[in-house]
Structure 1
Amino acid sequence: MGNVYQRLDAQTRAFIEQQPMFFVATAPSEGGRVNVSPKGYADTFTVLDDTTVAYLDLDGSGIETVAHVRDNGRITVMFCGFDRRAIIVRLYGTGRVVTLHEPEFPELLAKFGPHPGVRSIIVVHCDRISDSCGWGVPRMSLIEERSTLDRWAARHDVQETRAYRAAHNRASIDGLPGLSAGESDPVGRSS
């Protein structure tokens, strides 16, 4: 039923590009909580090469993925086929956090659609690419993407965004470091 691939082939890439959402799973090195985060917006995920992908890390109420990736790098990205094709694709790998102040950030950012709440970009080098049946996953139809997160981020000025990130994104729920004070500036906005 399942296959393991050495690289992201054309068929797997096409499947990924068609999905309106994906899930990201991470965990700290020692104890703590496993985190699974749903991610939306079709233009926030990209395939960089045959074994590397990236996605926009947008504002949120927590910072688990960033904290866990910085702690140990372990990350799994999962795509589910909710339409006619009953398949699940998992990308297991090592992630890294690319922030606004790193030289590669502008080039990476250009690969995504515009979003006002970008905190960082998560780049994942895949060491296992696999698929499995999605026979237990229900068929569902996309009604529309929610614009709520983008509207929320656009309503906040630079100071409000910095304050929000200071209150909610400095540490994970298990106390691991998240965004530092210097990483709290909104992308593309000045004070």
Structure 2
Amino acid sequence: MSKLLTKITQELQDFIKNQKIFFVGTAAQDGRVNVSPKGHDTLHVLNANKLVWLNLTGSGNETAAHVLKNDRMTIMFCAFEGKPLILRVYGNAKIYHERDAKFHDYIKLFEENTGSRQIIELEVDLVQTSCGYSIPFMDFKEERGQLNSWSKKQGKEKIETYWQEKNTKSIDGFETDILKK
């Protein structure tokens, strides 16, 4: 049932493109393991071994803090509709902020969003598929618009103030480098 692959096949790339949610797992050497759900059209597969996702402003910034300490990352997708499948991609991540040239290369892939915080690039070294037979069917209703509305209302300056208050350290006290110049 489970398969290990060295790349994201075209069939799996198509599967990823159709997903409405994905989950990101990271951990530093010490402290807590973090799993974050992500939505909207914020992930793009660049090739069979690289993907990027737009990390939007949130109440914490655990992923960034963990990647600075340990660049391992797992992204998981689950089929809630159609043929059952769980897909995990494993690799090493890099974080790009607005101050980085790569951020500006990648941001063009995404819809404009005032809450754009970082872009994460994942170099994939292992892909795992598994059956997903126990995953329930769920119907997608619609995207939630609250985060985008909130971000627009705040504007860039207030978003940066929010980052200063909520996004500079992880819950374990690790730096996130979000406001580093």
Q: For the superposition of Structure 1 and Structure 2, which TM-score range results when normalised by the shorter chain? A: over 0.9
Partner secondary structure for residue 56 of structure 1: strand
Q: Provide the residue aligned with 1:49 in structure 2.
A: 47
* Deviation digits for residues 9-37 of structure 1 (CA, Å, limit 9, x no counterpart): 1100011011001000001112x111000
* Deviation digits for residues 84-136 of structure 1 (CA, Å, limit 9, x no counterpart): 21100000110010111111211101112222200110000111111001111
* 2-structure distance, mates of 1:180, 1:110: 20
Shift of 1:50: 1.2
In the alignment of these two chains, the number of paired residues is 181
Displaced runs of 4+ in structure 1, greater than 6 A? Answer: none
Q: Which runs of 5+ in 1 are unaligned?
A: 184-191
Q: Provide the residue aligned with 2:121 in structure 1.
A: 123
Q: Provide the residue aligned with 1:5 in structure 2.
A: 5
> What is the letter of the counterpart of residue 76 of structure 2?
M
Root-mean-square deviation over aligned CA pairs: 1.1
Identical residues among aligned pairs (%) = 36
Q: Which runs of 5+ in 2 are unaligned?
A: none
* 2-structure distance, mates of 1:6, 1:157: 42
Partner secondary structure for residue 14 of structure 2: helix
Partner secondary structure for residue 73 of structure 2: strand
Map 1:98-177 to 2 at 5 A: 98-177=96-175
> What is the letter of the counterpart of residue 40 of structure 1?
G
* 1-structure distance, mates of 2:178, 2:15: 36
Q: Provide the residue aligned with 2:179 in structure 1.
A: 181
* 1-structure distance, mates of 2:179, 2:99: 12
* 2-structure distance, mates of 1:179, 1:15: 33
Cα gap change, 1:114 to 1:180, in 2 (>3 Å): closer
Q: Provide the residue aligned with 1:35 in structure 2.
A: 34
Shift of 1:157: 2.5
Q: Provide the residue aligned with 1:188 in structure 2.
A: none
Shift of 1:180: 3.9
Normalised TM-score (structure 2) = 0.96
